[in-house]
């Protein structure tokens, strides 16, 4: 028996959508959520793909994720919008907010949206790419529960807050930088633990708050560049959760509930407010060519642009299907079955 | 003879201002520049303080830095402004642009300024702090000449672009995160070379593009977190230089001139467009208290907020004066003398 099942992307998208419709979401919202998850799988970012489905379904059952959210605009100015997402599925809330940010950018040159009370925002690059395709530059960040120590702290005190910047270009998909503020992702740390691999110094701490290279002892990743990643994550909490008047970190550290929730920000800049879009895109292409044309560093075979590895994997997986590890597939299938969605054993 | 001269901050500010007035700047512009430089010295960031004066003076002599710039607004929307800085001194251009960004934030909720054709922007925290003091959140970034390898490249292909985020708080100075996209600053690398100290792995490469821990062989720092810092620096070039229609990296990599120039962006968010300023500031204070209250990690004595070390040093140096290394003081004195400004030998 194979250790993974390879599933055509369209099939996986349809199954995921069906599942979330049965879980109470509208067809359109379930389609958005499925598209966001399968987009991550296509790009090889399986940590943000359908492996999340059981968790999302569980959050719906527990009332943590609201499948029928009522979005409200709390406050609006010419260039800003403050949105209450009513515990919506992250992708649904983020797409709603992206629409507002881009509309504001068209009207005012720049749009800054803050999204309060969303849930797991999945892969931020998904929304940033969409915004870039509309002729805007995008900057997106999200705040969540404490998952790594602030620099100097020995316990989880800040989130591994992801942030993302995207710009359109003339040829090919937008440049999309989508990174966490931790030195390695939580998912990668878990994989290293499972594989029993040694960690590099500076990657993680143990339960006592001491640096460790022993993956068995490691409990959480460290911030990217120590005070830099920690400070960035802290500032993201300020720019998202505190602007949203929905603090996460302080509440959890004070001993309040640890129910999952997120807040996010989306900045869209209309490129045409500064320079003709064609000129900008040509300059991005030129920059990419210039950087790729520099001599390689010792130990490198090529120079990759932000998002390029994922673009390549997407081309491949679109053609050959998405490999899902057997255990993850069994879990997906179990949850789908519970919601009355029939999932074949093979494809 | 002492290895450093300790100078009262006001005296150093006055001397620096006098020097730049003699070099052709207006009294107001020279005061802004002096204030920005001495602010960095007060905070212990001596790499961005008066040690830059000889370089700035040289740029004025060579026509690279324009002491009497004519700022122009190229394009303006409700929330954006595109400024041509006419090769102004960085602090003069950045303060001008900050004013526009804050005005836009007041009018539209958010203001996004792009500054084309400025020169060395000094310490970005200086402007971010000012914006935060006006009840806004600030995000600032700057682009410059290639100074570190893009991830995978063996030569200088991106800048060590700094970026900065600031928010106001209820008690004390704003929280100001001011970091470079390199793993260590160029200045720190030069200090390690001078001291003959071994570098940590991942800090620098040698002239052949190979990683090195030998500070004598090191020629430039590596990006923070490899592809993360490199990608961030690349995106900053897009969001500043390409929005400003003034590409830096591609031109230099194509073999054009390497004359110093910078571009920058300033985002100001009016906090009151989202939440009452008092509530926001109280929540920042609460967050700081909560993070500082977490158990210490092994090997740490305290938990510092972004900018806190500099705030402390500023309190100290305001009282006791700014220590300037003898060599840097001699250089400052030489340049001041050339411009006809008398600098005492001791204070």
Instruction: Give tens-digit pLDDT for B16-37.
Output: 999 999 999 999 999 999 999 9
**Token representation of residue B236:** 């900053």
Closest CA to B56 of B14, B90, B9: B90
| Model pLDDT, residue A191 | 81
Q: Does A225 touch chain B (CB under 8 A)?
A: yes
Contact (CB<8Å) B275/A243: yes
Model confidence at B238, pLDDT cuts 50, 70, 90, reads very high
Residue of A nearest to B268 (CA): A112
Report the greatest alpha carbon distance in chain A: 58
Residues from chain A that touch B291, judged by Cβ atoms under 8 A, are 150, 153, 157-158, 234, 249, 253
Residue of B nearest to A272 (CA): B243
| Model pLDDT, residue B2 | 65
Residues from chain B that touch A159, judged by Cβ atoms under 8 A, are none
Residues from chain B that touch A79, judged by Cβ atoms under 8 A, are 78-79, 104, 108-111
Other CB atoms within 10 A of residue B345 CB: 8
- Checking if the pLDDT of B194 tops 90, the result is no
Return d(Cα A189, Cα A212) in angstroms, integer: 12
Q: Does B149 touch chain A (CB under 8 A)?
A: yes
**Is B245 within 8 Å of B116 (Cβ atoms)?**
yes
Closest CA to B127 of B39, B44, B63: B39
Residue A319 exposure: Cα atoms within 13 Å on the Cβ side: 5
Residue of A nearest to B137 (CA): A239
Which among A154, A227, A275 has CB closest to B297? Answer: A154
Residues from chain B that touch A111, judged by Cβ atoms under 8 A, are 79, 110
Q: Does B219 touch chain A (CB under 8 A)?
A: no
| Model pLDDT, residue A1 | 47
Residues from chain A that touch B157, judged by Cβ atoms under 8 A, are 290-291, 294
Which among B75, B77, B153 has CB closest to A294? Answer: B153
Closest CA to B249 of A74, A288, A127: A288
- Checking if the pLDDT of B1 tops 80, the result is no
Contact (CB<8Å) A274/B224: no
Q: At what angle do helices A227-237 and B277-292 cross, to 10 degrees?
A: 140
What DSSP string describes A190-206? HHHHHHTPPPPTTSEEE
Residue of B nearest to A205 (CA): B297
| Reported ipTM exceeds the 0.90 cut | yes
Residues 6+ apart with CB under 8 A from B20: B29, B30, B33, B34, B56, B67, B89
| Model pLDDT, residue A335 | 97
Mutate to test the interface with B, among A73, A110, A157, A223 (most CBs of B within 10 A): A110
Residues 6+ apart with CB under 8 A from A116: A74, A82, A83, A84, A85, A244, A245, A246, A263
Which among B232, B275, B289 has CB closest to A245? Answer: B275
Q: H-type helices in chain B, by residue range?
A: 9-22, 27-42, 53-61, 90-108, 125-133, 186-195, 227-237, 249-253, 277-292, 308-320, 326-338
Which element (helix H / strand E) includes A110?
strand A110-118
Contact (CB<8Å) A250/B286: yes
Return d(Cα A273, Cα B112) in angstroms, integer: 10
Residues 83-112 of B with CB under 8 A from A: 104, 107-112
Return d(Cα A72, Cα A68) in angstroms, integer: 13
Residues 25-64 of B with CB under 8 A from A: none
| Model pLDDT, residue A204 | 95
| Model pLDDT, residue B250 | 97
Mutate to test the interface with B, among A225, A245, A266 (most CBs of B within 10 A): A225
Contact (CB<8Å) A244/B77: no
Return d(Cα A285, Cα A133) in angstroms, integer: 15
Which among A112, A227, A291 has CB closest to B109? Answer: A112
Q: Does A302 touch chain B (CB under 8 A)?
A: yes
Q: Give B268 or A194, the one with higher predicted confidence.
A: B268
Instruction: Give tens-digit pLDDT for A65-75.
Output: 999 999 999 99
- Domains along chain A with CATH numbers: 1-67+307-347 (1.10.1530.10), 77-182+223-281 (3.30.1370.60), 183-222 (3.30.60.50)
Residues from chain B that touch A231, judged by Cβ atoms under 8 A, are 177, 179, 306
Q: Does B214 touch chain A (CB under 8 A)?
A: no
Residue of B nearest to A301 (CA): B152
Residues from chain A that touch B209, judged by Cβ atoms under 8 A, are 295-298
| Model pLDDT, residue A190 | 84
Residue of B nearest to A104 (CA): B79
Residue of A nearest to B111 (CA): A110
What DSSP string describes A245-305? T---HHHHHTT------EEEEEEEEEGGGTS-HHHHHHHHHHHHHHHHTSPBPTT-S----
Mutate to test the interface with B, among A221, A224, A250, A272 (most CBs of B within 10 A): A250
Contact (CB<8Å) B235/A75: no
Task: Give helix then strand counts, H and E, for chain B.
Answer: 11, 12
**Is A164 within 8 Å of B235 (Cβ atoms)?**
no
Return d(Cα B160, Cα A297) in angstroms, integer: 17
Residue of A nearest to B165 (CA): A235
Q: Does A152 touch chain B (CB under 8 A)?
A: yes
Contact (CB<8Å) A231/B267: no
**Token representation of residue B281:** 């500031």
Closest CA to B247 of B123, B127, B97, B146: B146
Which DSSP state fits B273?
G
Mutate to test the interface with B, among A227, A238, A251, A270 (most CBs of B within 10 A): A238
Size of interface A-B (CB pairs under 8 A): 303
Chain length of chain B: 347
Which among A78, A150, A298 has CB closest to B109? Answer: A78
Contact (CB<8Å) B75/A274: yes
For A127, A129, A166, the CA distances from A178, given in Å and listed in that order, are 11, 10, 8
For A135, A243, B88, the CA distances from A71, given in Å and listed in that order, are 26, 17, 46
Return d(Cα A166, Cα B74) in angstroms, integer: 24
Please state the pTM of the whole predicted model. 0.97
**Token representation of residue B242:** 């390409």
**Is B87 within 8 Å of B68 (Cβ atoms)?**
no
Task: Give helix then strand counts, H and E, for chain A.
Answer: 11, 12
Residue B71 exposure: Cα atoms within 13 Å on the Cβ side: 19
Contact (CB<8Å) B245/A275: yes
Question: What tens-digit pLDDT sequence spans chain A (347 residues)?
Answer: 468 999 999 999 999 999 999 999 999 999 999 999 999 999 999 989 999 999 999 999 999 999 999 999 999 999 999 999 999 999 999 999 999 999 999 999 999 999 999 999 999 999 999 999 999 999 999 999 999 999 999 999 999 999 999 999 999 899 999 999 999 988 788 888 888 999 999 999 999 999 999 999 999 999 999 999 999 999 999 999 999 999 999 999 999 889 999 999 999 999 999 999 999 999 999 999 999 999 999 999 999 999 999 999 999 999 999 999 999 999 999 999 999 999 998 88
Chain length of chain A: 347
| Model pLDDT, residue A213 | 95
Helix (H, G, I), strand (E, B) or coil at A172: coil
């Amino acid at each position: 028996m194979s250790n993974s099942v390879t599933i055509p992307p369209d099939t996986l998208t349809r199954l995921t959508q069906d599942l979330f419709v049965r879980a109470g979401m509208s067809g359109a919202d379930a389609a958005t959520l499925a598209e966001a998850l399968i987009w991550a799988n296509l790009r090889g970012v399986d940590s943000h793909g359908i492996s999340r489905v059981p968790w999302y379904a569980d959050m719906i059952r527990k009332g943590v994720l609201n499948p029928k959210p009522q979005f409200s605009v709390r406050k609006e100015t010419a260039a800003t919008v403050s949105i209450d997402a009513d515990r919506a599925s992250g992708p649904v809330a983020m797409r709603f907010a992206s629409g507002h940010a881009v509309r504001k950018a068209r009207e005012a040159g720049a749009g800054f949206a803050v999204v309060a009370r969303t849930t797991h925002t999945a892969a931020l690059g998904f929304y940033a790419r969409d915004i870039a395709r509309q002729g805007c530059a995008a900057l997106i960040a999200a705040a969540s529960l404490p998952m790594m120590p602030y620099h100097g702290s020995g316990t989880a005190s800040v989130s591994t807050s992801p942030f993302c910047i995207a710009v359109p270009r003339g040829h090919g998909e937008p440049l999309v930088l989508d990174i966490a503020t931790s030195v390695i992702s939580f998912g990668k740390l878990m994989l290293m633990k499972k594989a029993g691999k040694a960690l590099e110094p500076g990657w993680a701490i143990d339960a006592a708050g001491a640096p460790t290279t022993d993956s068995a002892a490691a409990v959480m990743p460290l911030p990217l560049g120590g005070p830099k990643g920690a400070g960035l994550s802290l500032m993201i909490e300020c720019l998202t959760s505190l602007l949203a008047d929905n603090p996460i970190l302080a509440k959890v550290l004070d001993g309040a509930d640890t129910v999952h929730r997120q807040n996010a920000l989306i900045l869209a800049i209309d490129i045409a407010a500064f320079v003709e879009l064609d000129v900008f895109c040509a300059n991005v292409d030129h920059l990419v060519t210039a950087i790729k044309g520099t001599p390689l560093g010792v130990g490198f075979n090529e120079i990759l642009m932000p998002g390029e590895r994922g673009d390549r994997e997407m081309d491949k997986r679109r053609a050959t299907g998405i490999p899902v590890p057997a255990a993850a597939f069994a879990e997906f299938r179990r949850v789908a079955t519970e919601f009355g969605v029939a999932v074949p054993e093979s494809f």
